[in-house]
Chains A and B, each alone.
Chain A
Amino acid sequence: MAERKTLNESLRERGVSRRGFLKFCTVTASLMALPPSMAPAIAAALERARRPSVIWLSFQECTGCTESLTRSFSPTVEDLILDVISLDYHHTLQAAAGHQAEAAREQAMKDNHGEYILIVDGSLPGPDMNPGYSTIAGISNYQMLMEGVAGAKAVVAVGTCAAFGGLPAAGPNPTGAVAVMDLVKDKPVINVSGCPPIPEVITGVLAHYLVFGTPPELDEYNRPKVFFGQSIHDRCYRRPFYDKGLFAETFDDEGARKGWCLYRLGCKGPSTYNACATMRWNSGTSWPVESGHPCLGCSEPRFWDAGGFYEPLSTPLIAEGPTVAVAGFAGAVAGGALAAMAKKATAAAVAQRQPVKVEELEQSLEGQP
């Protein structure tokens, strides 16, 4: 295999000046949620970094994660990251189809054995489930994943489906869907959750690999701390209203118009860890809370089954009415406690997850009118 070019060499071949390269590094630092003072260190690392091979597998998913990724950078500075990685296999984006596509995947795995990054979006039926629920080229998702994992340097699970099971794993979980980390135990798994994830977070994780060649520091759910280290609630510009006990009660009341806290409208910000409040969406234009809608908690495990989107976070966990009001006035302490309780409930639910088999589903449906 011919030695891959460094990023700096690739950019200079394109006529990008050193000044342009430093700008690229500055923007990359921002993308990786690192302080801009890290730009020279990133430049030094990227001068040596070689173009990594990336194999992207899509299983039980809606292609929203790929949509998110491609919407972010066509064609901006970030697309240079895709240009300077070697995206050797991606169902949706590649030109090849059928046997040629599978041959490209096998060739890339062989040529870059032990070195490539395996990106997975979508959950997959567990190894004990009927493989027919989801296949590609006649290969079960489970078999394709394990073949890919065998030669991978690291695995990146993109989106809540790949990270935690997501919608396919929501009750009654007809395909027995599981997350990537449920199956991969011998390689580092980085979860980039979100439905979909923020596009710059996906590219930021790839950039981290490109720059440092190692996984970023991860939280208890294997998510990079630089992006998932703080709750939406803690970084929300509406947080001061929560602390003062000022809440919107409906979507068109005075509180909603004044931009008060959306906690009582079901905002899951206190128990949700993501970067929406700072990185925002659509090139930094806005994010759900800024648009007046509560956070759905889409980057957390089991968010589809975690109660109504418009039910206050405290409702199923502690009490209604007065308790919520007290929690509001108690501010940060109560918010942290609620977040901890929600996390505990989520962890318990994940531990007790019991996939439903099709036979059981059919039996239950037969009994219905």
Chain B
Amino acid sequence: MSGLSKIGVIVEDDGIGPAEWGNALPILHQVRHALRKLRETGEPTLIDLRAMPFGPGDEERLVGLLGRGEVEARVEALGPTRIWETAYPGVWLVDHRNAQDERRALHIEVSTIPAILRSQDEDIADALIRLDACIASDSGAAYPSPTDV
């Protein structure tokens, strides 16, 4: 290492502490409105936290206030997406990351189940084709056909 490590660094504690930027509470109000709409009409809401002018610590405070609920899930598609239900059922946090585990988007999804967890029609159609191919290639070798029994 360079000589920089020999330079002593003193962190002064001036007692000021982190500032309160006050941006978490308005988002909680928005979440409440969305949750009420979900209950009354069934309509889901997505809130993009990247579009919020948060100050340092605002996001952590919001996530802390929402807490953790009963469900956690992880999707592996173009990098991991971590999903967890907050302490308020119907309110989910969806953390989209790339292959290097860098955050690309952070959403609050107010719905009965986040859209990304649902199996997609196109993937289901592919699954049928692959399953048929698997059965066709595997049936003669590994398993006896019914007529052989």
* A interface list, Cβ under 8 A from B: 16-20, 22-24, 26-27, 29-30, 33, 35-37, 75-77, 80, 235-238, 240, 254, 257-259, 277-279, 283-284, 286, 290
26 contacts between A and B (CB under 8 A): A17-B77, A17-B120, A17-B123, A18-B121, A18-B122, A19-B75, A19-B77, A19-B119, A19-B120, A20-B77, A22-B115, A23-B78, A24-B78, A26-B116, A27-B96, A27-B104, A29-B48, A30-B50, A35-B46, A36-B48, A76-B104, A77-B104, A237-B23, A237-B54, A237-B55, A257-B16
What residues of A have a CB within 8 angstroms of the CB of B129 in the complex? none
Cβ B77 vs Cβ A76 within 8 A: no
Known: A20-B78, A77-B78. A284 touches B123 (CB 8 A): no
Cβ A76 vs Cβ B55 within 8 A: no
Residue B74 at the chain A interface, CB threshold 8 Å? no
A347 to B109, CA, bound (A): 43
What residues of A have a CB within 8 angstroms of the CB of B99 in the complex? 75-76
Cβ A283 vs Cβ B51 within 8 A: no
Known: A30-B104, A37-B46, A237-B54. A258 touches B78 (CB 8 A): no
Q: Closest CB-CB distance, A252 to chain B, in whole Å?
A: 11
Q: Closest CB-CB distance, A315 to chain B, in whole Å?
A: 26
What residues of B have a CB within 8 angstroms of the CB of A20 in the complex? 77-78
Cβ B48 vs Cβ A237 within 8 A: no
Chain B residues 38-57 with CB under 8 Å of chain A are 46-48, 50-56
A279 to B54, CA, bound (A): 10
Question: Would you give the 0/1 interface string for B109-145, flagging 1 where the beta carbon is closer than 8 Å to chain A?
Answer: 0000001100111110010000000000000000000
What residues of B have a CB within 8 angstroms of the CB of A16 in the complex? 77-78
A237 to B59, CA, bound (A): 12
A76 to B56, CA, bound (A): 24
Q: Closest CB-CB distance, A207 to chain B, in whole Å?
A: 13
A76 to B79, CA, bound (A): 9
Q: Closest CB-CB distance, A54 to chain B, in whole Å?
A: 22
Q: Which residue of A lies closest to B14 (CB)?
A: A257
Cβ A283 vs Cβ B103 within 8 A: yes
Q: Closest CB-CB distance, B44 to chain A, in whole Å?
A: 9
What residues of B have a CB within 8 angstroms of the CB of A286 in the complex? 56
What residues of A have a CB within 8 angstroms of the CB of B120 in the complex? 17-19, 22
Q: Closest CB-CB distance, B102 to chain A, in whole Å?
A: 5
Cβ B96 vs Cβ A23 within 8 A: yes
A257 to B19, CA, bound (A): 9
Known: A17-B120, A258-B19. A283 touches B102 (CB 8 A): yes
Q: Which residue of A lies closest to B102 (CB)?
A: A283
Q: Which of A77, A235, A257, A277 has the most CB of B within 10 A?
A: A77
